[in-house]
Structure formats: C-alpha cells, structure tokens
C-alpha cells in the first residue's frame, strides 16, 4: 500500500483502461493531490 | 473555401463484438460478458433517434442538446429519421451489402440465407454464399466472423494471405469498413453538390492498408473514390492520428489556393477498432452500448465561389516539434497564438470546434467530459490574457462552446463534426468566424513522446 497523504501525483490514464479522472478521484480520496491529469488518447 | 461536409453513420451493433476492447475483454475474462454486451445492443430505431446522432446528421443544432436532459438515450427525438441535411444513417443490413460490394478481392462471404437478403437490397449483386460446412471451415481457418445484433453468424471475412498479419481477416475487415463508410459519405456529398467532378481525394482515416512489406502503405482515398463512383480524381492519404482530417483540410486548401487542383475532397471512413471501446462503463451504468456506429466523412474544398466560407490559410497553425505538449501549452499554441497573430481577440471567434466526443459515451467510463475540459482551457486562456474576467469564464464557455455529440471515432470526433453546422451558420446563419482545433496523440505509436495539433479559422465569405 502506498500512503498518498501529502503526495503530489501525476495521473496518467488510458482511454480504454482506467482514465485519469478516475485515478484522480482515488488519489484525492486517499489524501493525495493531483497536479497533472491526462488520459491517453483524449477521450 | 469549404463548400460543405457530409457524414455517414453506419449502425453496426453486430460488429461491436469485433472491436478491439470487446475482443480483448472476451479473451481475458470468463463469464457471460458477451451475453451482457449483446443484451445492451441498440436496435437501429434507437440509434437513429439518439439526439447526438441527429446533430451529426445536421437535423439538430449542437446547442439544442443543452435543452435535452442527460443521458440523452433516455430522451430520443420522436419522429427523427435517418436522413439529415448533413448526413445519412444506414442500418447493419445496408452496411453488409456495401461491404460485399466493396470487396474486390472476394474475401467476404455470407450464409446462403443472408446473401439472398443482401441481394434484395439492390446495393450489390448476390454476394458469395457459403454452405454451413464451408462457413465453419472458413471460420476455423482464421476467418473473422460477421455477426448481426443477436450475435448470429451471418458471414465471414477470410484472410488475404495465409502468413501475412497485415492481410489477416480482422485487419481486412477494419480496412473494408473504413472504405465503405468513407465511400458512402463521399457519395452523399456528391449527391448533394450535384457536381461529380473531383480532381483529388485526400484520405485521412485511421486504418492501415497494406501488406507485410508495406504495412500502412495507404491510399485508401482512391479505393474510396472508386467505390463511390468517382472517375476523375487521383488521391493519397494523410496520416496524423486524430489530427489527420484538419491536416488534410489545410493541404486541400493549399492545393486549391495554389491552383494545383480545382476541387479536393478530404475523406475518411470509420474506425471499427473503436467500437465498444468503453462498453464496460456502459454496462456498469446500465446504458445501451453507445459505441455502435462507424462514421465516415467527406469535406468539399473548392475555389472561391462567392458563397462558401473561407478557409483562412493565413491562420493555419500546426503544433511544432519545439512546442510543449502540456494541455495549456498546446491550447495556447493552437488557439490564442494564431488569433493574436491575425489581430483578433478570442471573443471575435463565434464558436470553437474542439474534440467533440459525446460525454454520455465517455463519462460512464470515467473519462470525463472531453469538450467541456477543452472549453475550460480556452476560457482560462481568455481570462489569462485579460480579455475576460475570471468570473466570466462559464459565460464564455456557454457563448463560444457547445456540448459534445460525436461518436468516439477518434479522427471523426476531432473538431470536424461541427463543419456542416459551421458552413450553414457562416452562409445563411449568424456566424462570422469559427476556429477548428484538432489534436493527435502521436505518443500512442511509441515512436515519440510528442503530441500533435492543428488549428485554422473558417470565416464568412466577404462577398456575402
């Protein structure tokens, strides 16, 4: 387990896997701060 | 000048089983995933009355979607039909009939009963029919099955070569699907324009046509033209991921402006691989499978006719190798910088056409609202440059943006679905200027970490 509290996170998602907005929700619920979120490709 | 653009949507629920994501998920997981997907496939009537599709066909303005509660599949447009001023929607049977007609190498075969039904549509002669035994053998010998919405096997595509992965049955089906949808869009454009003579076709689809020594060799443009009955044109393809249609539009404009050709049509077929790409999100949300259409496009680029909107080639901008790829850097390079260079403010652009993915498709899969994110970035640029107050950003988005309405067909969703609406608004409507902005994820091909982008302004013809 990674303790996300206070961590700055780059969230890189996949369009047909786990996209960035979903990663962001998980990270923020664990106390991390997402400073960059992008999904490859754009949708 | 851009005289017009037309789209074709082919509703192909049976081909969702052949999409890249469903294919991989079925192979990786046990259980009744196939049955769950099958139960959520829409009939043609539901795909026709789906509000975003009516926007693609030009029968509904994009802004009208704001007045329809989401998810939009729960609020069909009652009485809507498959023909609109900007395009046509065809059903699966019609698509399969065209697939048979497009098959110049005799690789597509159907069951005897299905072949008879296809012949009855009048699109093609009788397609090659196989007995049940021969069909089973073809399927066992690396054939790609063709299904209908009930997942009944209605035919097969056989490989083009027994050892060539570039000519495998699955790849050939992808390429034929692109050929058919591109050709149908081109046919519709020519029917409406009533002037058949084209000098050049620029293909900009996502398919990779070729053999083992020329994977992605291309020039589907000419094959599309041939199937559409065009005789006067040559052609070639432009490859640039989702940004290819706008790159193609710039090249078409340049070819016409320079006098090399009088009329160029930018054309692309749909992406079979992307069917059902987010089906797991749709199943989880209890939605129908919304990625069940292949989309083709044709864009008519001509010399000045005193009427058609002007493609402002002086404002054409491409993302350069030295430009950064962070979202704000790309937005600045593609949106703000060319406007400033042209002496324009961001408010001088009536509408920004960005990646126009239908949010009902992307949100259940957790991908968010793609156009809304883009408009937020554009509004932030307007605020950052001091043109609007920060508090006015939502109003800027409302006035200069639009809801997404395009199928998630990559290159198709990339700004161009607004073209028919822009041409209408810039000729008979209230629009003066539209900026088209497309991006491409070059990094997905593992050859670079770069992205790509293109933008250009389309303006009312000064003669009007």
User: Where do the domains of chain B lie?
Assistant: 310-459
Residue of B366, B372, B375 to mutate when probing chain A, most A C-beta within 10 A: B366
- Is the C-alpha dihedral spanning B51, B54, B60, B62 positive or negative? positive
Asked if B367 lies within 8 A of A39 by C-beta distance, the reply is: yes
Cβ–Cβ of B368/A42 closer than 8 Å?
A: no
Question: Which of B278, B413, B443 is closest, CB to CB, to A16?
Answer: B278
* ipTM tops the 0.90 cut: no
Q: Which residue of A has its CA nearest to B404?
A: A43
**Is A22 touching B (CB cutoff 8 A)?**
yes
Q: Please give chain B's pLDDT, 464 residues, in tens.
A: 999 999 999 999 999 999 999 999 999 987 799 999 999 999 999 999 999 999 999 999 999 999 999 999 999 999 999 999 999 999 999 999 999 999 999 999 999 999 999 999 999 888 999 999 999 999 999 999 999 999 999 999 999 999 999 999 999 999 999 999 999 999 999 999 988 899 999 999 999 999 999 999 999 999 999 999 999 999 999 999 999 999 999 999 999 999 999 999 999 999 999 999 999 999 999 999 999 999 999 999 999 999 999 999 999 999 999 998 888 889 999 999 999 999 999 999 999 999 999 999 999 999 899 999 999 999 999 999 999 999 999 999 999 999 999 999 999 999 999 999 999 999 999 999 999 999 999 989 999 989 999 999 999 999 97
Which residues of B fall within a CB distance of 8 Å from A22?
366
B-chain residues within 8 Å CB-CB of A38?
A: 327
Fold topology of B310-459: Peroxisomal Thiolase; Chain A, domain 1 (3.40.47)
- Please state whether the peptide bond connecting residue B223 to the residue before it is cis, i.e. omega within 30 degrees of 0: no
State the number of CA atoms in the 13 A half-sphere of B318 facing the CB.
14
Nearest Cα neighbor of B127 from B135, B137, B118 is: B118
Chain B residues with beta carbon closer than 8 angstroms to that of A16: 20-21, 277-278
Q: Which residues of A touch B368 (CB under 8 A)?
A: 19-21, 39
Measured between alpha carbons, how far is B207 from B198 in angstroms, rounded to an integer?
23
Q: Say whether B366 and A18 touch across the interface (CB within 8 A).
A: yes
CA nearest to A22 within chain B = B366
Minimal Cα distance from B274: which residue of A? Answer: A16
Contact B327 A41 (CB under 8 A): no
Is B242 at the interface with chain A, CB within 8 A? yes
Residue B444, chain A, CB below 8 Å: the answer is: yes
Taking an 8 Å cut-off on Cβ atoms, the answer to whether B410 and A41 are in contact is yes
Cis peptide before B317 (omega within 30 of 0): no
Give the nearest partner residue to A19 out of B242, B365, B410, using CB atoms.
Answer: B365
Q: Do A21 and B367 touch (CB under 8 A)?
A: yes
Q: Among A18, A22, A42, select the one facing B441 at the smallest CB separation.
A: A42
Q: Which of B269, B283, B285, B248 is nearest to B410 (CA)?
A: B269
Interface of B with A in 244-273 (CB under 8 A): none
Q: Among B20, B327, B362, whose Cβ lies nearest the Cβ of A43?
A: B362
Contacts of A39 in chain B (CB under 8 A): 367-368
**Which residues in chain A have Cβ-Cβ distances shorter than 8 Å to B365?**
19
């Amino acid at each position: 387990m990674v303790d996300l509290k206070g961590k700055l996170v780059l969230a890189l998602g996949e369009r047909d896997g786990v996209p960035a907005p979903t990663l962001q929700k998980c990270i923020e619920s664990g106390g991390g701060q997402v400073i960059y979120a992008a999904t490859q490709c754009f949708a | 000048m851009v005289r017009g653009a037309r789209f074709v949507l082919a509703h192909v629920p049976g081909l969702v089983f052949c999409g890249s994501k469903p294919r991989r998920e079925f192979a990786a997981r046990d259980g009744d995933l196939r049955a769950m997907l099958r139960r959520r496939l829409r009939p043609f009537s539901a795909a026709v009355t789906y509000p975003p599709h009516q926007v693609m066909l030009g029968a509904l303005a994009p802004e009208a979607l704001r007045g329809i509660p989401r998810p939009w599949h729960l609020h069909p447009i009652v009485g809507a039909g498959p023909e609109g001023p900007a395009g046509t929607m065809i059903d699966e049977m019609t698509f399969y009939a065209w697939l048979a007609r497009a098959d110049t190498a005799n690789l597509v075969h159907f069951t005897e009963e299905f072949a008879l039904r296809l012949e009855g549509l009048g699109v093609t002669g009788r397609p090659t029919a196989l007995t049940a035994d021969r069909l089973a053998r073809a399927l066992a010998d690396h054939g790609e099955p063709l299904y209908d919405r009930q997942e009944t096997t209605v035919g097969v595509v056989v490989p083009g070569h027994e050892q060539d992965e570039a000519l495998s049955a699955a790849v050939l089906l992808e390429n034929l699907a692109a050929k058919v949808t591109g050709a149908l869009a081109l046919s519709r454009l020519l029917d409406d324009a009533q002037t058949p003579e084209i000098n050049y076709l620029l293909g900009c689809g996502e398919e990779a046509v070729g053999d083992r020594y020329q994977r992605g060799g291309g020039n589907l443009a000419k094959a599309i033209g041939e199937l559409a009955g065009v005789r006067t044109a040559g052609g070639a393809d432009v490859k640039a991921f989702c940004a290819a249609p706008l790159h193609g539009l710039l090249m078409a404009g340049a070819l016409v402006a320079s006098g090399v050709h009088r009329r160029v049509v930018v054309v692309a077929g749909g992406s079979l691989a992307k069917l059902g790409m987010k089906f797991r999100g749709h199943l989880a949300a209890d939605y129908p499978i919304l990625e069940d259409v292949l989309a083709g496009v044709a864009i008519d680029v001509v010399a000045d006719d005193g009427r058609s909107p002007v493609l402002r080639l002086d404002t054409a901008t491409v993302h350069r190798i030295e430009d950064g790829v962070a979202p704000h850097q790309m937005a600045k390079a593609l949106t703000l910088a060319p406007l400033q260079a042209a002496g324009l403010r961001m408010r001088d652009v009536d509408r920004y056409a960005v990646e126009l993915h239908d949010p009902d498709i992307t949100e259940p899969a957790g991908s968010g609202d793609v156009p809304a994110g883009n408009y937020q970035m554009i509004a932030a640029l307007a605020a950052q440059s001091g043109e609007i107050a920060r508090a006015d950003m939502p109003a800027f988005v409302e006035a200069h943006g639009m809801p997404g309405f395009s199928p998630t067909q990559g290159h198709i969703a990339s700004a161009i679905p607004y073209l028919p609406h822009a041409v209408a608004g810039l000729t008979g409507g209230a629009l003066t200027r539209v900026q088209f902005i497309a991006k491409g994820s070059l990094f997905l091909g593992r050859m670079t970490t770069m992205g790509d982008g293109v933008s250009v302004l389309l303006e009312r013809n000064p003669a009007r």
